[in-house]
Amino acid sequence: MTTFDHPSFGRITDDRVFIFDTTLRDGEQSPGFSMNLEEKLRMAEALADLGADVIEAGFPVASKGDFESVAEIARVVRGSVVCALARSGGKNDITVAGQAIAHAERGRIHHFISTSPLHMKYKLRMEPETVLDIITTGNKAARNLTDDVEWSAEDGSRTEPDFLCRCVEAAIAAGATTINIPDTVGYATPEDMERIFSMLKNRVPGADSVIFSAHNHNDLGLGVANTLASLRGGARQIECTINGIGERAGNAALEEIIMVLRTRHDQYPFTNRIQTEKLLKLSRMLSTTTGFDVQPNKAIVGRNAFAHESGIHQDGVLKNAATYEIMTPESVGWSKSSLVLGKHSGRAAFRDKLAALGYTLGDNQLNDAFARFKDLADRKKVVYDDDIVALVDDEVRDHQRIRFLSLDVCAGSRRPAEATLELELDGELVEATATGNGPVDAAFNAIRSACPHTARLALYSVGAVTEGTDAQARTTVRLEEDGKLVDGQGADADTVVSAVRAYVHALNKLLVKRARTEPEALPA
């Protein structure tokens, strides 16, 4: 078994697979998926708790906000390497990345440059020898700031094999400790990725002293398959995201890869640090933060992933779950039973259920969530786990400067809808009444009257958390102002209240973006 020393991980063996999560960097580049500093920090701490070996926190040179996010994550997060992205030939990229991770317990600079003929000719407008020089100087500059340096060959899967070998050799010689060969545009097949990594391991001097990494996009739906093939070729770091979010069609999904490694250990005899029972909680945290749910049939974390409707399947599962389930729901964080508490349940039972679902709330948050649960239980015949998750996620979200208090709506077919709303703005009660073309429009007009702003409603989407006419509604609202997009989410048994909660959440996020240039500004 091959062993070597790595600056962040010490002595490592060939059966160890490292999980490099890029949800906060590549994942956040998905349209509408941007997060503020507080949301990024909360996700980073959850990723560290999950067991991610490396957390790519952002691209510090891209903006002041990205730099602050990476720097704060580096200060706070423990147990995972905090990584900052940089361009190999960027004017200040590597220096700024080094500054951002300066206070990390363990920090990494990840720099990249394109190596394919197409990218070098049309994107970089550089000759191959110039690219080789930049790889060398970039690695040396990064090594002056940290011992843990990763270099990526952008569009590596479409790079000529001989030139790719030369690039990797140059990067290793200049001090890179991890080499990433990304399928940047999702073009490769599993056979391609296995061949590329096998070639590099066999041909490049020094290949046995670095970790090879796979970063596969999902444009052809092959992200996970290409990642598994990369492992067969010799890669030992997997770059992936929660729920598979990312540029265009997204990245290889962390939860899918991990459960393949766990379920098919006979085919992939590797070890990793991921605590799989926390996968569902993190998936839901990301959905709540970004306002985008995963599709019901999504592997591992979709709500139908362990659902059985066919009578034949149900009969088999009742007799022996292994007949139709290749993994247990509990192994990824699902509860065995989805039918839970009711209106007669007490605070202790509610707290125990939250613990089973992976939530730990302070006293004030618990009191607020319990009050909403009791209200929901009075209105719903059956309260499911998903109902509780939705209301708790909505309650524990930071309300920041604007808080929803109450809503009264009068609507019907004979007169315009009218909504009377109470909000708390910076601790002060504000009330407004407005009419509109339906109850939701009236409620949104009331918000704009109580808290004037110029943001445009770019998206309004409603879905049911569970089944039935008494199901909770989960609403997503997207606001746009001066090119800034923010998404808010809310949940409630009343669809209009759910919409108002989502709108207020989005408005609070917009205030955070404004505060960087107008610290004291309220919507105007």
Indicate the annotated binding residues for Mn(2+).
26, 215, 217, 251
Distances in Å between the alpha carbon of 4 and those of 209, 214, 249?
A: 6, 19, 36
Name the pairing type of β-strands 10-13 and 3-6.
antiparallel
**Binding residue ranges:** 26, 215, 217, 251
Separation between Cα atoms, residue 518 and residue 502, nearest integer Å: 23
Separation between Cα atoms, residue 424 and residue 432, nearest integer Å: 12
At 517, the amino acid letter reads T
Name the pairing type of β-strands 54-58 and 178-183.
unpaired
Q: In what order do the strands lie in the sheet with 402-410?
A: 402-410, 417-425, 428-436
Determine the length of the chain: 524
Q: What are phi and psi of 294, to 5 degrees?
A: -80, 155
At 417, the amino acid letter reads A
H or E stretch covering 152? strand 149-154
Q: Which three-class secondary structure state does DSSP give residue 350? A: helix
| DSSP state letters, 69-130 | HHHHHHHH--SSEEEEEEETT-SSHHHHHHHHTTT-SSEEEEEEEE-SHHIIIIII---HHH
Separation between Cα atoms, residue 467 and residue 473, nearest integer Å: 10
Residue in the structure block whose two tokens are 């939860």 = 255
CB 406 within 8 A of CB 413: no
Cβ partners under 8 Å of residue 496, min gap 6: 407, 409, 419, 439, 440, 443
| DSSP state letters, 264-327 | TTTT---B----GGGHHHHHHHHHHHHT-PPPTT-TTTSTTTT---SHHHHHHHHH-GGGT-SS
CB 237 within 8 A of CB 180: yes
- Token reading at 310: 């066919």
Q: Which three-class secondary structure state does DSSP give residue 464? A: strand
Question: What is the 3 state secondary structure string of 395-448?
Answer: HHCCCCCEEEEEEEEECCCCCCEEEEEEEEECCEEEEEEEEECCHHHHHHHHHH
- Token reading at 387: 């109902």
CA nearest 182: which of 202, 206, 156, 161?
A: 156
Residue in the structure block whose two tokens are 């906000």 = 65
What is the 8-class DSSP label of residue 360? Answer: -
